[in-house]
Structure 1
Amino acid sequence: MAQTSDVDEARDLLGRAYLPLDIDPIGCGPLDLHMSAAKLGVLTAGYVQFGGEVKVRIPDVQSYHVDIPMSGQVTNSWGDGRQDVAVAPESAGVFTPGIPVDIGWSPGCGQICLMIPTREMMQQLETMLGQASLAPVAFERRLDLQTPSSISWLELVTVLMRDANRPGGVLSHRLAEDNLQHLIVQFLLLMQPHNHSAALRSDERPSSAGVVRQAIELMRAFPEASWTTAKLAQETGLSARALQRSFARADQMPPMAYLRYVRLHRAHAELLNADPRSVTVTAVASRWGFLHFGRFAQQYYQQFGESPSVTLRGRDGHARR
């Protein structure tokens, strides 16, 4: 966590974490910047709060940004004349590369600030649609935080903010961290309207059962990989929606449910052979990409009829010797 009331230092801190910008304090209140930011494998996630009223000018937006007010409000004024007010906890702002913006922060306003590189956004979109050389994504600029889908998305962001780079947290394993970051980007593409939304919703011709077998073989051979439906679809030459429909037509569980099934069995095998004096259930769960321990324990019990801790101790309830 960094803190400063010096304008030049605040500009430098935010510029190094995100992108070049100008800061203009308004009124006589102290700037009082508090910020923390982490550059992760896919995106940058941080929290930024100003104590006083300020205007932040960003002349060159180079990546996709989602700014989520957690307190107070901001007025987003884009270079093309459009303006919108984002208010906690009702709405957020979505910023697209190439459109400059001025952001007016109310006193005490704090925001979760996500930055997604353009290359990552386009790669996820192309993977989901099974097409290359698509037009850049142009999102609607106001994100409604009151819909069921946005509430679920914000829960994922909250997990990322809480556990990113925290020693021993559920995201301490690269597989779990990568999966969550990709899921946040893909979910944003699915829930927030943009110029490719119709293509993501469109029906496609179902594929053969052979493609389903290929996807299953990939998951069973490399369950530790950072699989998403979109990545599996790319490997099999389909879009994500076409692969999901193919699994349904083959009377298979959805791709990610099948992957969870495979990983549960790998976790079960590891727990059976682990030494409970040096191995924890949480570590095994995280290693196999399970972010929520309570949900993992529930799914594990449903699959194997016992808790993971019982498996680790041995069925007689005593630690192995």
Structure 2
Amino acid sequence: MFGEKGEMVDVAQINAELFIASDTHELAAQLRPLCGDVAIKPGLNGQLDLHMASSLVGGPIANQIRTPTGLELRFERPFDGYALVLLHEGGLRTRIGQQEHVWSAGACVVLDATKVSEWQWHAGSYEMLLVGMGDVAQRLSSLLEAPLTRSVMFQAEVSPESEGVRLGRAVMHLMQTCFGPGVPGSAAMATAASIRDVAVGAFLEGLPHNYADRLLVKAPGPSPRHIRSAIEYIHAHARDSISVEDIANVAGVSVRALQVGFATFKSTTPMAYLKRVRLEGVRNELLHSDYVSVADVAMHWGFKHLGMFAKVYREAFGELPSQTRRIRITRR
């Protein structure tokens, strides 16, 4: 990534960048390495004035935006995740499918960035926290100790006093003030994962979404340690060629004890759980990626026999993989 004068700032997954632009071509050139081609329309009187400080720390991105003129953006490659937007001054208009949504100063908005085709920022100031869809899905699966059966959908407008907004604001402040150019790589890497965890937690545990009720349900008791270890291993290595023996070794128990534990606490088998995690991974990629074929995605997630894959995918989701891909196309 590049700073105000083109200086490269890159410490693994920690980047800081300052955009100061008064020309649409200049801004498009700066944004192109990050998100592909960007269509930009200037704001008031055909003028553009944008000041945006952006920090990437371990995956989440914090943006502070100030624009006296406003502008409209259309991204070739939208961010694959969710955006918490705090509107301090001005207003925001977004286009999602065929619908327009308008928010004014004081609002706090949560959006699936993959579905937003247009962002029109009015003259004003804003903050935005972005977290990856994969990070959210992985954390939620871990919290539920189960694969996800549908996409995570957040309530669009939330209270500025909600726990998620307060925590999100604190995370953005930390990212912007402590992780700029010049931060030692070792210190930064030691904390980047923690920043990501807090940012994802702000969304999942502080903002309303369609899995919130399940997170609040008190289970009769947590799964035993060996089951939790097995589940963590499965999610971390779902794309790899792993066996039930591999999972049992990591969990520190026999294959029989692992199978009994999954039957008791998850009502399934370890390998059936792995297959479901893989299917969810395929579906997530098909819904959020334009650049790979269904066959490539299936192979990437360990499904070698495409005919059998299509059958089990349809049994799991009630549609063929090609139909899921068409859903992605119609959303654009």
TM exceeds 0.5?
A: yes
Distance 2:176 2:91 in 1: 20
Query: C-alpha root-mean-square deviation of aligned residues, in Å?
Result: 3.5
Among residues 150, 159, 163, which one is paired with 2:178 in the alignment?
A: 163
Distance 2:219 2:202 in 1: 20
For residues 5-20 of structure 1, the aligned pairs below 5 Å read 5-18=22-35, 20=37
Structure 1 residue 52 displacement after superposition: 0.8
Distance 2:167 2:180 in 1: 22
Match of 2:139 in 1: 124
Among residues 118, 122, 126, which one is paired with 1:102 in the alignment?
A: 118
Among residues 222, 239, 263, which one is paired with 1:207 in the alignment?
A: 222
Moved more, 58-67 or 136-145: 58-67
Which letter does structure 1 place at the counterpart of 2:53? S
For residues 231-242 of structure 1, the aligned pairs below 5 Å read none
Distance 1:178 1:15 in 2: 27
Match of 2:194 in 1: 179
Match of 2:19 in 1: 2
- Name the SS of the counterpart of 1:205 in structure 2: coil
For residues 247-258 of structure 1, the aligned pairs below 5 Å read none
Among residues 73, 76, 94, which one is paired with 1:56 in the alignment?
A: 73
Among residues 82, 101, 109, which one is paired with 1:83 in the alignment?
A: 101
- Name the SS of the counterpart of 2:205 in structure 1: helix
Which letter does structure 2 place at the counterpart of 1:10? L
Structure 1 residue 14 displacement after superposition: 3.2
Distance 1:127 1:183 in 2: 15
CA contact (8 A) 1:3 1:34 kept: yes
Distance 1:24 1:15, change over 3 A: same
1:34 aligned to 2:51?
Answer: yes
CA contact (8 A) 1:43 1:114 kept: yes
CA deviations 1:229-278 (Å, max 9, x no partner) are xxxxxx8999xxx9xxxxxxxxxxxxxxxxxxxxxxxxxxxxxxxxxxxx
Which letter does structure 2 place at the counterpart of 1:179? S
CA deviations 1:53-105 (Å, max 9, x no partner) are 32223466341222323433222332241513042xx3233221542342222
Match of 2:237 in 1: none
Distance 2:211 2:58 in 1: 25
Structure 1 residue 33 displacement after superposition: 1.8
CA deviations 1:144-182 (Å, max 9, x no partner) are 22335522331222112211235469x944232321221
Structure 1 residue 29 displacement after superposition: 5.3
CA contact (8 A) 2:35 2:78 kept: no
Which letter does structure 2 place at the counterpart of 1:96? D
Distance 1:63 1:86 in 2: 25
Distance 1:142 1:128 in 2: 24
Moved more, 32-41 or 195-204: 32-41
CA deviations 1:113-138 (Å, max 9, x no partner) are 33322211211111121112442211
CA contact (8 A) 1:17 1:37 kept: no
- Paired residues in the alignment total 216
- Name the SS of the counterpart of 2:137 in structure 1: helix
Distance 1:25 1:190, change over 3 A: same
Structure 1 residue 7 displacement after superposition: 0.6
Distance 2:24 2:176 in 1: 26
Structure 1 residue 15 displacement after superposition: 4.0
1:66 aligned to 2:81?
Answer: no
Which letter does structure 2 place at the counterpart of 1:183? V
Which letter does structure 1 place at the counterpart of 2:93? T
Distance 1:207 1:103, change over 3 A: closer
**Which runs of no fewer than 5 residues in structure 1 stay unpaired?**
216-234, 243-321
Distance 1:138 1:19, change over 3 A: farther
CA contact (8 A) 1:11 1:22 kept: yes
**Which runs of no fewer than 5 residues in structure 2 stay unpaired?**
1-17, 230-250, 253-257, 266-332
The percentage of aligned residue pairs carrying the same residue is: 15
Structure 1 residue 31 displacement after superposition: 0.3
- Name the SS of the counterpart of 1:28 in structure 2: helix
CA contact (8 A) 1:76 1:93 kept: no
Which letter does structure 1 place at the counterpart of 2:150? A
